[in-house]
Structure 1
Amino acid sequence: MAIVTKLRCEYLENPIGLDNPHPRISWQIQSGIRSWLQSAFQIQVSPSPDFSSLLWDSGKVQSNESTHIALTELDVEASRRYYYHIRVWDKQELASAWSEIAFWETGLLEPGNWQAQWISAPLQSFPVESGQSPLLRRIFSVNAPVRSARIYVTALGLYELNLNGIRVGEDYFTPGWTNYNKRLQYQTYDVTALLSNGSNAIGAALGNGWFKGNLAWEDKKNIYGERTALLLELHVTYEDGSGDVIVSDNGWRAAKSPVLLSEIYHGETYDARLEKQGWSTAAYDDSQWEQVEVLEHTKAILIAQENEPVRKIGELQPIALLTTPAGETVIDMGQNMVGWVRFTMNGAEGQEVSLQHAEVLDQEGNFYTENLRNAKQAIHYILNGQGSETYEPHFTFQGFRYVKLTGFSEPVRLEDFTGVVLHSDMEVTGDFQCSDPLINQLQHNILWGQKGNFLDVPTDCPQRDERLGWTGDAQMFIRTSAHLMNVAPFFGKWLKDLASDQLENGGVPFVIPNVLGDEAHSSAAWGDAAVICPWVIYQCYGDKRILEQQYESMKAWVDYMHRQGEQEFLWNTGFHFGDWLGLDSKPGSYIGATDRDLIATAFFAYSTSLFVKTAAVLEKKEDIAFYSNLHDEILKAFKHEFITPSGRLSVPTQTAQVLALMFGLVEGKAKERAEKKLLELMDESKHHLTTGFVGTPYLNLVLSQIGSKDAAYKLLFQTDYPSWLYQVTKGATTIWEHWDGIKEDGSFWSKDMNSFNHYAYGAIGDWLYRCVAGIDTDEAAPGYKHILIKPQPGEGLTWAKATLQTLHGLVASEWRHREDSTMELHVTIPPNTTASILLPEAVEEGILENGKDIALSDGIHSMSHIDSGAALEIGSGDYVFTFSVPVPVQAG
């Protein structure tokens, strides 16, 4: 019998604080029966976990859908829990048992439901230029048994919350980074267990964060405002059904904290002598504290948390204690990581210690920080001298592998230091492994690049004075990121930020949230994140709502491009980053040799084509007609401008050929010549790339698509500069910004722009999953409803395997060469999905499944033979295919 499992509401397990009035429900099926398909489902919603009464019952709905089922007919109320369970029917009309019970809980739903006031520490004690963090607190009473208690809270700046001396929640850098003038998230916490009968105390510490702290490289501060502030409501419901609401108002009090300075880039200074023990408990005497000030600030911008919050995800122990040639004491974490160091020490009152963070050591083995530019990445701690002291920062994070210690008493013990890894708490969904250890390290580096840069927004780098949501980097890497983790809520939130920051004319800022100013917008391939990212999320998760949500933003970007060129269907004006950091750049330039007009027009065509597909999904008939015609005209203009009469691309670079082929801009003879030219260029470079940010993500994909997987494999396996594995052989544990961030002689490419944790080139992971392992989704049945398993084994690997936890369940593909000229392909297809399988190069006779003739196997719906192997259509289940492959002809 089928079992309904992994119930999710808006991708989340039992979420609280949702503001969506019609949330969507998803589930998975467990069944040992092959080709299991759902024919119907039923969802019931109840106010109680025993389902003694029902608020809503879908009845039996004839549908095979099991993801994103919107509860459109259910009317929800604010601050209320809703329980739901599900049962399903199979094709034989056999019903499953009811699932386990899950729930979601609404937040305040509307800004008008807020009762609290914005409060801030008094200006006379905390002037605008002050870096010191304030503490805010108040006492309240609980005089009856409590059924439940929820805190709804946000801040201008960052906040940490305590209740009766205990930290509230596991979230960090709340309320997250948005365009605070238009969108400000609030969080919801269940604090029922933290309340006690009688007097209670709630306390909050505030930090500058992204709201008013230093951002970007021009020393900009106070971008969104000049004063940090808190907005909080505690809703207490008693067992008798009555309740209280405790709010932030002028009854709160404020004092200075031990955090003297806290900045995202520069780190934190903490004076433990200023600690106020028990400051967030009811027994603490706050008579010397000052009254807070009430601020006038809008609540209309408030929205519930949309993405997963930043949390502590793991811990690393240092692997070595070094004394550098310069005499510096340095600990090596063994991994370029993002987060902070927690340390313990004993010392005298007033003793100051510092930790400075860096990614690499220099050519001589000394601590190197020049590539951080103006970011200090330093922690300063002043001891209180009261025994063993343990510290970790509050409102800052660092990107680092190495930590220089100053002021610590000898001997330094590695066990006193722990690296705390922080990033947005996304579910890890994918894994890739193969027979080559260097490729496995590359996969490791890609994953850690995502960990380090998916901290509330998709940043370019986590260490220097930047850490911004560059749109180009995000769109280049998004498909890879969706293999590794469930990034749908993460990008759903960020794309709303993009739409909110989008210019009235449709232009898209270079970074989201936009902190670079009104003129920093609308480069080709960067602004195209407005279209590419929603489409990728739709493809990977079958999430139609993100297309609905972003539709006007997508349309506005295409219209913006349409208005830009000197000719209507070419984009040949404005500033563009081009093929950023392309290796064919002119000396002294960051911009590759590929004509920027070609790149801009290519992306104009590509985004327009994706928008046409989006309009088709949403059944926007007028837009389908108009933008289909627009796309046709762009193709004509591209052909006229960039293809010679003999059918050759006029721009002879790797990136030009790649974009033309990837985006379908050439056909017939021109396509053949572009394919031939790309392979010639690969030969000329001795199977090395010359591409930059624009061309690299598509290079291997295109080589595979044109039937040149051998060229793609040769490219992958290069270990000298420039290549992915060059970085690995140089000891990289994340992806570098530059192919030669560290040169052969150990010197550095540049101090101005040389991040060693910069995920864009990690987009090769997409090819590893979709081509090497062969896991993909059918564009016509997105979200892995219909799965494609089409591995492309190549020279250099004897086996490869990948797994992907989709919304429907686990998908797996593992191929392995055997010594007898046969191959094995292990495949897992989850219930309620189907799949198309390619057995690569399989000869017609002797195909076995689980040791028996394939014709006798359940779950195989059809099989045919094509030039590239055997093509199968199968249902759900676990399969082991064994098949013969042609024996390579030996030379001579």
Structure 2
Amino acid sequence: MLKVSHLTCEYQQFLLGTDQTRPRFSWTSTSDKRNTKQCSYHIKVATDPQFINLVWDSEEIENDQSVQIQYDGEPLQSFTRYYYKVRISDNYNRYSDWSTSDWFEIAFLKETEWTAKWVTPKYQQAPEEVFALRNTISLNKKIKSARVYATALGIYQLHINGSKLDDALLTPGWTSYHHRLQYQTYDVTDKLVIGKNALGIILAEGWYKGMGFDQPYEYGKKLSALLELHVVYEDGMKEIFTTNESWKSGKSAFVSASIYNGETYDARLATNWSEANFNDEQWIPVDCAKEPSTKLVAQENEPVKVTGKIKPISYILTPKGEKVLDMGQNMVGRIRMSVTAPEGTKITLKHAEVLDQDGNFYTENLREAKQQVIYIAKGDGEETYAPSFTFQGFRYLKVEGYPAKDLPLDQFVGEVIHSDMKQTGEFTTDNPMVNQLQHNIVWGQKGNFVDVPTDCPQRNERLGWTGDAQVFIGTALYNYQGLLFFKKWLSDLKVDQKPDGQVPFVIPNVLSGDTVSSGWNDAATIIPWTLYQVYGDKSILAEQYESMKAWVEKVRSLATNETVWEAKIQFGDWLALDGDPDSPIGATPIPLIATAFHAYSTEILAKTADVLGFENDAEEYELLYERIVSDFQAEFTTPNGKIIGGTQTSYIIPLAFKLLQGDAAQKAAHELHRMIVANDYHLTTGFLGTPFLCSVLSQYGYHETALRLLLQEEYPSWMFEVKSGATTIWERWNSMNPDGSFNDAGMTSFNHYAYGAVAEWMYRSIAGITFDEAVPGYKKINIAPNISPLGMKHVKASYETLYGPVSSEWKIEDRFVTLKVLIPVNTEAEIKLPPHSANITLDGDAISDTKITLGSGSYQFEFYIHQLKQKLMTEESVIGELIYYPKAKALLEKNLTNFMHGEMPPQAAFQMIKGLTFRECKVTPETGLSVHQIDKILLEINEVINSLGEEK
């Protein structure tokens, strides 16, 4: 059995409305044989589902590529649907059947093809106004197909013949309106009738104008809409209807709408305004004078939709007498309410993330955002309503004016809203708190991926902060398929970037000022490179290359000798706990952070130039990178191996970016470990240090230290949030203090995803799933779990690559480990078992290697972890401390290995360990151990060896 499935065009199964002239195809394959690899592919593209009218027949091409294969046929035509199918052969000389066919559809390949006029409601004056636009058309023939192409300056909702057209929300999304505006394509074939039809548009402010963060959005003064309806009749004739002077505007039941403040809807004002027989004589003709210069582009990313529903778990009457519903989950979206009430009954829904210490409704952290929905009842039986032009971040819902003594739970439903990305990752363990943390991370991503990667979804901010996005990108791409989401956002980053290369703090940019900050602006390089590593898509690098280069050159111009960036005022390690309590910047020296990120971005740029074949650039930036590394070491490290600043982050970032080598790196890693142990396994890191903290520790041999940080339940920690009842990730480690009080209301969010970046390490290190950097896109996979019984004895993770699912599951029972892996067709994986594994079997057959390369299929490893090694690695004792010292660790592990393999009797092993330990480890500058401590260690080792001697 060899089968092709999951066809996509530009990462979408059915791509309705693209402006790509040469779109790319991908697919996955399934096979009943292991080690299956594709040997050839054959693609056909036609204008008909029978594939009679071919526009491209690739014929059989001997190639193992199954992702991002570019169309290479006849020139594609606007407003045309194309069907495609694939078949492949494999290394077992088998051919698959032809796949089922999927399709993509071209919209406008040229902007000049638009014939519609922008329609602007007259007399726009009041803030948060909502307008209805309408027109009627006549269709006198049988319809074969019909498409609407629409967009707006503002956000819009389409109606045809009395019904809402689509389930997408907040269209056309938020772009840099001065430069780019997305339009959407809708199939309306079954919405139209022969005869008279009505077309309607509801138009609200959205992100285009009105209330913003500290200052109003001012992309423009007036809301406008643009629409074309293309109708193809059964006889082959085509007719186009557009927005023009014949359209009219009027009021609807939407009294007001705002992203931040909410929505007011008066059901008494509802009419059949979008039906063909509506009398619009009192409506006002629109203005068609507007001619925006904004470039129109087909929608690139997934639309925002309702992706799930939540029922409230309890009704609360607070000490103040407030009627509150608890949704049980800090969510982003809206409430759908049902009510039977007298005409004119005003029901107000207010949204909050938390209750205060007394159990009352708490909204101080929302700042100026009202997050309020008002519904005025029509008084005609049961009425159901959910807002359309806003979204809220909340767990608790305060209801005022509902006509019942107690709130009926079954009359309220939470509708979860976010960009409709495909979930690609799962991570579960036998530890409920770790599972809750992963749950919180996923829900934080859901709530903040609403068309742009926002920092928070509730207060008057909700901006696409670059720093938050870049630290979270690795985790984001494990959890969800994020290429299209970030591709769209990076397109706005590129156009909002200033001529001198400066990258704004937020994208789309709505802030003023010219301040730069490392770690934030570096999103220009880090995010494209990460997308390339995960998906292997060079086009992302090609599209962003000039932006990446401009940013590196900007920092190069600011740095002394082009290398050391002596920055003074930046965000630093934002919200770290090691600095001035009155400052959010943290104690890590800003020049150290700035220079380290300068090195990292330069290295990324050099690698990008190499991938794209820009040899001169690759050589130039590699040399610049080497100079930055050298000058970093001279400027920020001391002869005895210390790093200036002395904070956890001052060690983490240079280690993460590989700015230290050899003994210097190992000493720095040990010092980081020592600081964490001395701080009783508590972190002090902020936005820039935290994402790399655990991964650096694991990489340099301190995986148990990383686990203890993850599992730490006392403040500050991830598990402190979990124990405190969090269902998303907090903005601050102390958004809620240990005594239950809240931090500064001016900047305290309970749904920020930045610290959720730890999940990338959980997937990579605990489960062991990652890409091979030399072969990006998971064409070659690395599976190398760090297996430790500390906190978890059963871990299971999976990730949906472009080739299919890869999974890693390990379980410890006593001292035996079972590891199950799944590798997708047309890939291979290198499996690395723990170095001290013994008695290894693969599917029941004995093997000797701890590193093995396998092709596609599912496999099961079983192996034995010696109890002595297990004890030394996990026990809360000075033995556990000893193995973290580089020389001692190497010597100890060598002799433990000999002991475990029976090459040395227990007491001989002990005597050798004793001699080597005293000789090599009593030098206190190297180990920090006193002779007394070594004696204690040796006593414990002797005790363990004696206890295991008979068993061995």
**Could you say what secondary structure the match of 2:746 adopts?**
coil
Higher mean alpha-carbon deviation, 107-116 vs 437-446, is at 107-116
**Alignment counterpart, residue 581 of structure 2, candidates 587, 593, 601:** 587
* Structure-2 separation of matches of 1:754 and 1:517: 23
Residues 576, 151 of structure 1: alpha-carbon distance in 2 compared, 3 angstrom cutoff: same
Aligned to 1:220: 216
Higher mean alpha-carbon deviation, 585-594 vs 444-453, is at 585-594
The equivalences for 1:183-582 within 5 A come to 183-216=180-213, 218-221=214-217, 223-276=218-271, 278-298=272-292, 300-411=294-405, 412-519=407-514, 521-573=515-567, 575-582=569-576
Aligned to 2:760: 766
* Structure-1 separation of matches of 2:72 and 2:545: 20
* Structure-2 separation of matches of 1:646 and 1:336: 48
One-letter amino acid matched to 1:160: Q
**Could you say what secondary structure the match of 1:118 adopts?**
coil
Aligned to 1:860: none
**Alignment counterpart, residue 730 of structure 1, candidates 715, 718, 724:** 724
* Structure-2 separation of matches of 1:745 and 1:377: 27
* Structure-2 separation of matches of 1:497 and 1:230: 21
Whether the aligned pair in 2 keeps the contact of 1:22 and 1:74 (CA below 8 Å) is no
TM-score between the two structures when normalised by the length of structure 2: 0.90
Whether the aligned pair in 2 keeps the contact of 1:459 and 1:467 (CA below 8 Å) is yes
Whether the aligned pair in 1 keeps the contact of 2:337 and 2:384 (CA below 8 Å) is yes
* Structure-1 separation of matches of 2:399 and 2:197: 40
Shift of residue 512 of structure 1? 0.3
Identical columns (%) = 47
Shift of residue 574 of structure 1? 5.4
* Structure-2 separation of matches of 1:205 and 1:154: 12
One-letter amino acid matched to 2:526: I
Residues 786, 593 of structure 1: alpha-carbon distance in 2 compared, 3 angstrom cutoff: same
* Structure-1 separation of matches of 2:82 and 2:147: 15
One-letter amino acid matched to 1:220: P
* Structure-2 separation of matches of 1:380 and 1:453: 24
* Structure-1 separation of matches of 2:215 and 2:294: 30
* Structure-2 separation of matches of 1:293 and 1:586: 56
Aligned to 2:694: 700
**Alignment counterpart, residue 848 of structure 1, candidates 841, 851, 862:** 841
Whether the aligned pair in 2 keeps the contact of 1:825 and 1:839 (CA below 8 Å) is no
Shift of residue 63 of structure 1? 1.1
- The reply on whether 1:873 has 2:869 as its aligned counterpart is no
The equivalences for 1:855-866 within 5 A come to 865=849
Whether the aligned pair in 2 keeps the contact of 1:107 and 1:188 (CA below 8 Å) is yes
* Structure-2 separation of matches of 1:14 and 1:260: 36
Aligned to 1:79: 79
Aligned to 2:906: none
Aligned to 1:151: 148
- The reply on whether 1:752 has 2:746 as its aligned counterpart is yes
The equivalences for 1:23-62 within 5 A come to 23-62=23-62
| Count of residue correspondences | 870
Shift of residue 376 of structure 1? 0.5
Shift of residue 91 of structure 1? 2.0
Shift of residue 566 of structure 1? 3.6
Q: Quick check: which one's helix share is greater?
A: 2
* Structure-1 separation of matches of 2:294 and 2:469: 29
* Structure-1 separation of matches of 2:711 and 2:804: 32
- The reply on whether 1:137 has 2:131 as its aligned counterpart is no
- The reply on whether 1:9 has 2:9 as its aligned counterpart is yes
Shift of residue 844 of structure 1? 4.5
Please, what is the CA RMSD of the aligned residues? 1.2
Unaligned runs of 5+ in 1: 856-863
**Could you say what secondary structure the match of 1:475 adopts?**
helix
Aligned to 1:103: 103
One-letter amino acid matched to 1:887: Q
Aligned to 2:654: 660
Whether the aligned pair in 2 keeps the contact of 1:235 and 1:244 (CA below 8 Å) is yes
**CA distances 1:224-268 after superposition (whole Å, capped 9, x unpaired):** 001111100000001111011010001111111222211111111
**Could you say what secondary structure the match of 1:294 adopts?**
coil
One-letter amino acid matched to 1:872: I
**Could you say what secondary structure the match of 2:674 adopts?**
helix
* Structure-2 separation of matches of 1:798 and 1:630: 46
**Could you say what secondary structure the match of 1:293 adopts?**
coil
* Structure-1 separation of matches of 2:581 and 2:440: 29
Whether the aligned pair in 2 keeps the contact of 1:841 and 1:885 (CA below 8 Å) is no
**Could you say what secondary structure the match of 2:833 adopts?**
strand
**CA distances 1:89-110 after superposition (whole Å, capped 9, x unpaired):** 1124432111110110011122
* Structure-2 separation of matches of 1:887 and 1:838: 20
**CA distances 1:187-241 after superposition (whole Å, capped 9, x unpaired):** 000010111111111101000000012111x2414x1001111100000001111
Shift of residue 769 of structure 1? 0.3
**Could you say what secondary structure the match of 1:549 adopts?**
helix
Shift of residue 420 of structure 1? 0.6
**Could you say what secondary structure the match of 1:827 adopts?**
strand
Whether the aligned pair in 1 keeps the contact of 2:56 and 2:72 (CA below 8 Å) is no
Whether the aligned pair in 2 keeps the contact of 1:213 and 1:264 (CA below 8 Å) is no
- The reply on whether 1:806 has 2:805 as its aligned counterpart is no
Whether the aligned pair in 2 keeps the contact of 1:566 and 1:573 (CA below 8 Å) is no
The equivalences for 1:600-749 within 5 A come to 600-749=594-743
Whether the aligned pair in 2 keeps the contact of 1:45 and 1:56 (CA below 8 Å) is yes
Unaligned runs of 5+ in 2: 872-939, 944-952
**CA distances 1:331-376 after superposition (whole Å, capped 9, x unpaired):** 0000000001010112222221101100000000000000001111
Residues 133, 492 of structure 1: alpha-carbon distance in 2 compared, 3 angstrom cutoff: same
**CA distances 1:679-715 after superposition (whole Å, capped 9, x unpaired):** 1111121111010000000000000000110100111
* Structure-2 separation of matches of 1:884 and 1:9: 46
* Structure-1 separation of matches of 2:454 and 2:204: 20
Whether the aligned pair in 2 keeps the contact of 1:657 and 1:675 (CA below 8 Å) is yes
Higher mean alpha-carbon deviation, 301-310 vs 876-885, is at 876-885
* Structure-1 separation of matches of 2:513 and 2:705: 43
- Could you say which structure has the greater relative contact order, defined with CA pairs below 8 angstroms and 6 or more residues apart? 1
Shift of residue 299 of structure 1? 5.4
* Structure-2 separation of matches of 1:843 and 1:208: 61
**CA distances 1:852-888 after superposition (whole Å, capped 9, x unpaired):** 2156xxxxxxxx64xxxx1010000011111122123
* Structure-2 separation of matches of 1:355 and 1:729: 29
Aligned to 2:862: 882
**Could you say what secondary structure the match of 1:563 adopts?**
helix
* Structure-1 separation of matches of 2:6 and 2:322: 51
Whether the aligned pair in 1 keeps the contact of 2:36 and 2:92 (CA below 8 Å) is no
* Structure-1 separation of matches of 2:116 and 2:161: 20
Shift of residue 464 of structure 1? 0.3
One-letter amino acid matched to 1:193: D
Aligned to 2:158: 161
**Could you say what secondary structure the match of 2:638 adopts?**
coil
Q: Which has the larger radius of gyration?
A: 2
One-letter amino acid matched to 1:489: L
One-letter amino acid matched to 2:501: G
